[in-house]
Amino acid sequence: MNNRQTKKKHGLSTTAIHAGHKSDVQTGSLTTPIYQTSTFVFSSVEEGARRFAGVEAGYVYSRLGNPTVQVLEEKVAALEKAEAGLAFASGMAAVSSVLMALVQTGDHILGTKGLYGCTYGLLNLMKDRFHVDYTLCDMTDEDAIRAKLRPTTRVIYVETPINPTMKLVDLQLVAKVAKEAGAYVVVDNTFLSPYLQRPIEHGCDLVIHSATKYIGGHGDVIAGIAVGPKPILDTIRMTTLKDMGGILAPFDAYLLIRGLKTLGVRMERHCENGMRVAEFLHHHPKVAAVYYPGLRHFSQHNLACRQMDGFGGILSFELKGGLESGIRMMNHVQLCKRAVSLGDVDSLIQHPASMTHSVIPPEERAEMGITDGLIRLSVGIEDVEDIIDDLDMALSQA
């Protein structure tokens, strides 16, 4: 028998269940314990000094690291094929901590048009108070990206698919341009989860998730995750995470670990239902347009097939009657819930212009492709016939 055994690489679902878990020798606990503690005891003054100095591994204080939270960080890092992970109290805590760690006064951030409303608000805050400038760009064209770069550009910040227009960004293209410019590429991968898209495999540097969405999957926790090179994540941990304090609680980490165990089966169902609903809406006489990467007529369908392992459960659509028809339709759904957020097992429907993107001025929303009549639907994992029946009934009132 050959003594040299190569460790087999596991699939994504196996990784989501087993990565990061440490066996509890004393109790044999199958699930990761909740280490609900604020601080940790040192065996001696010398041990405490070594841990504070960073020369000895170990826990000091839960704002700096916690065993339950660490399991979550290692799981998501393994799924994204990253060196390390870092958990936060919310998706926006992750976005703000990462960006604040990567830039300084006088730097420039280049972002995709159509950014999530709160990310847009953060960029304006950083510009007004800390003189970190930003530009939004349609990143579908290499020349357009290069034209917006500056010598001070430190970060290219990407959402793909873009919320809520579902436009895609070619990650390999952006990574190539950023590398030449000496800028980091930070990708918000919330819409797809690591089960369907892994930006680091395409040359990007850091990945951010609002773990509230698909990673948690059940609408019962607010959290954020960032993954990437360990030296960068270590710096963020000991600066903007530690000093700004947007840490994740151990119990919330436990909920996310539990949610990750069903990520694979949930994402398969989200994709299956998403495609069926998109096809139904595409053929409905009252629907003017459907934006879903899985539809063959979607303008970037080939790119979606190249860089995504599935098309996800999010889509947007417009009704022929415009905003008023959309309002009537949304007010008549019964199974689908009128709520922001996405990635839950429940189907959620919302109006971006008056809800998630209301902070963005109307003229800028129009440039992003966010019309007043656009509706976003996060397709859940209910029986798809029931989702379609609910939408059909509501559309009859539009």
Average pLDDT, integer, range 14-35: 86
Question: What pLDDT is stored for residue 317 in this prediction?
Answer: 95
- Measured CA to CA, the distance from residue 40 to residue 62 in angstroms comes to 8
Percent of the chain's residues with pLDDT above 90: 81
Question: What pLDDT is stored for residue 336 in this prediction?
Answer: 97
pLDDT(8) > 80: no
Catalytic residue among 50, 63, 148, 176: 63
116 a catalytic residue: yes
Q: Which of 3.40.640.10, 3.40.190.10, 3.40.50.80, 3.10.20.340 is the CATH number of 12-260?
A: 3.40.640.10
Name the pLDDT band for 2 (thresholds 50, 70, 90): very low
pLDDT(1) > 60: no
Listed in sequence order, the residues at least 6 apart from 262 whose beta carbon sits closer than 8 Å to its beta carbon are 217
Question: What pLDDT is stored for residue 3 in this prediction?
Answer: 44
Catalytic residue among 116, 134, 291, 292: 116
Question: What pLDDT is stored for residue 7 in this prediction?
Answer: 58
213 a catalytic residue: yes
Domain boundaries, the chain: 12-260, 263-395
pLDDT digits (tens, 9 = 90+) for 141-169: 899 999 999 999 999 999 999 988 899 99
Question: What pLDDT is stored for residue 353 in this prediction?
Answer: 80
pLDDT digits (tens, 9 = 90+) for 305-351: 999 999 999 999 999 988 888 889 999 999 999 999 999 999 999 98
CATH class of 263-395: alpha beta
Catalytic residue among 198, 213, 237, 376: 213
Average pLDDT, integer, range 117-144: 94
DSSP H/E element including 195: helix 193-196
133 a catalytic residue: no
Average pLDDT, integer, range 14-30: 83
Token pair 């290219």: residue: 156
- Measured CA to CA, the distance from residue 325 to residue 270 in angstroms comes to 26
306 a catalytic residue: no
- Least confident span in 25-34, 84-93, 169-178, 327-336: 25-34
pLDDT digits (tens, 9 = 90+) for 268-303: 999 999 999 999 999 999 999 999 999 999 999 999
Percentages (nearest 5) of helix, strand, coil residues in the chain? 40, 15, 45
Beta strands in 160-280 (DSSP E): 184-188, 206-210, 224-228
- Measured CA to CA, the distance from residue 234 to residue 85 in angstroms comes to 9
Q: How many other CB atoms sit within 10 Å of the CB of residue 58?
A: 12
